Amino acid sequence: MDGQPVDFVIAWVDGNDKEWQKQRQKYKSGFMEDNSEVRFRDWDNLQYWFRGVEEYAPWVNHIYFITWGHVPQWLNLDNPKLKIVNHKDYIPEKYLPTFNSHTIELNMHRIQGLSRQFVYFNDDMFLTAPVTKEMFFKNDLPRDTFALNVICYGKDTAGLFNTNDMMVVNTYFDKVIQQKKYWKKWFHPKNGMKNVLRTALLMPWRWFGGFYYGHLPECYLKDTLEEVWEKEEAALDFTCQSRFRENTNVNQWVFKYWQLAKGTFEPISWKRGKCFHIHEDVTPAIEAIRGQNYKMVCLNDTGATTEWEKKREEIKAAFQEILPRKSSFEK
């Protein structure tokens, strides 16, 4: 097993914080900005994220908890593995204050003390079964599922962000050349036969049209973030200048896609986790949590989520069944 330390990074915001709301309202403007309430409402299940990490990934080195300045009242700040990171601790002052998750994510390599190998979690991504360090990094490389893909455009999709990311990737990597170098990784059985077939069907096009993404925790090398900033500072700086998410932004997947195109990854099965988009029926997500059917789950809140408070309590009850005991991260 890789001997290098692996850190977890998670970004969180307390949408109920009155001072945060006041500051957000001060800068709120522009019809192109993604400033919806969905992006900030609290599902009150973060304690299960910490319980899952302690129960299923005790090998983690440090947890870097990114915050605007607030922390949950129940969080044990004395836990030696926990590192609280305020936006102003690592994001350049010219980008602050920010309410743009892309800015928060694009600057993660600036976090003081962060290990070279780290895993980034959104606050809706949870561990629900034991995981090994090798599931995230192998041979000093991030684990990922490779598949060429076609970008999907539609309401409430990340299509435009993906397009902006791919413009960066296609500037530096020739698909034909990279395929010749890394065909064993591109067509590795671990990617799954459906993904191998998808890649084969998209091979005739010389450029990268997109990559498969499972909306799960992302494994990164800090080197990758530094390299992309060095080569594409203008594009990343332009995004970070946006107080809120805008369609002209790149997002953190530009680092994921860079690693895939460059070949700095080791293949792993897409079946290690699943993203559930919470709409009307929350049953599949609840059954997956209770049955611990996956190592990781993402519970993606959307504008189509109905009766979200009721669903929030149902999901919390499911987590409570598999993770009933407080972790050392709780007071």
Q: How far is 108 from 5, CA to CA, in rounded Å?
A: 17
Helix (H) / strand (E) element for 182: namely helix 175-186
3-state DSSP helix/strand/coil percent for the chain, to nearest 5? 40, 15, 45
Q: What does the pLDDT look like over 219-236, one tens digit per residue?
A: 999 999 999 999 999 999
pLDDT at 51: 98
Q: What does the pLDDT look like over 230-272, one tens digit per residue?
A: 999 999 999 999 999 998 999 999 999 999 999 999 999 989 9
pLDDT > 60? residue 35: no
Tell me the percentage of the chain whose pLDDT exceeds 70.
92
pLDDT at 154: 62
Give the alpha-carbon dihedral of 35, 36, 39, 45, to 10 degrees.
Answer: 140
Q: How far is 52 from 151, CA to CA, in rounded Å?
A: 32
CB atoms within 10 A of CB 234: 7
Q: Per the structure block, which two tokens stand in for 101?
A: 């998750």
CA distance between the termini of the chain: 33
Q: How far is 304 from 278, CA to CA, in rounded Å?
A: 8
Q: What does the pLDDT look like over 140-191, one tens digit per residue?
A: 999 999 999 987 766 666 668 889 999 999 999 999 999 999 999 999 999 9
11, amino acid identity:
A
120, amino acid identity:
Y
Residues 6+ apart with CB under 8 A from 76: 82, 328, 329, 330, 331
331, amino acid identity:
K
Tell me how many degrees the CA angle 76-81-96 measures, rounded to the nearest 5. 80
Q: How far is 165 from 38, CA to CA, in rounded Å?
A: 24
Task: Report the mean per-residue pLDDT for the chain.
Answer: 92
With beta carbons less than 8 A apart as the criterion, state whether 99 and 24 touch: yes
The residue assigned the tokens 């792993």 is 268
Length of the chain: 331
pLDDT at 160: 83
Q: How far is 21 from 16, CA to CA, in rounded Å?
A: 7
Least Cα distance to 293 among 273, 319, 279 occurs for: 273
Helix (H) / strand (E) element for 189: namely none
pLDDT at 311: 86
Q: What does the pLDDT look like over 56-80, one tens digit per residue?
A: 999 999 999 999 999 999 999 999 9
Which is higher by pLDDT, 292 or 302? Answer: 292
Q: What structural domains does the chain harbor? A: 6-147+214-322 (3.90.550.10)
Least Cα distance to 276 among 81, 88, 77, 126 occurs for: 126
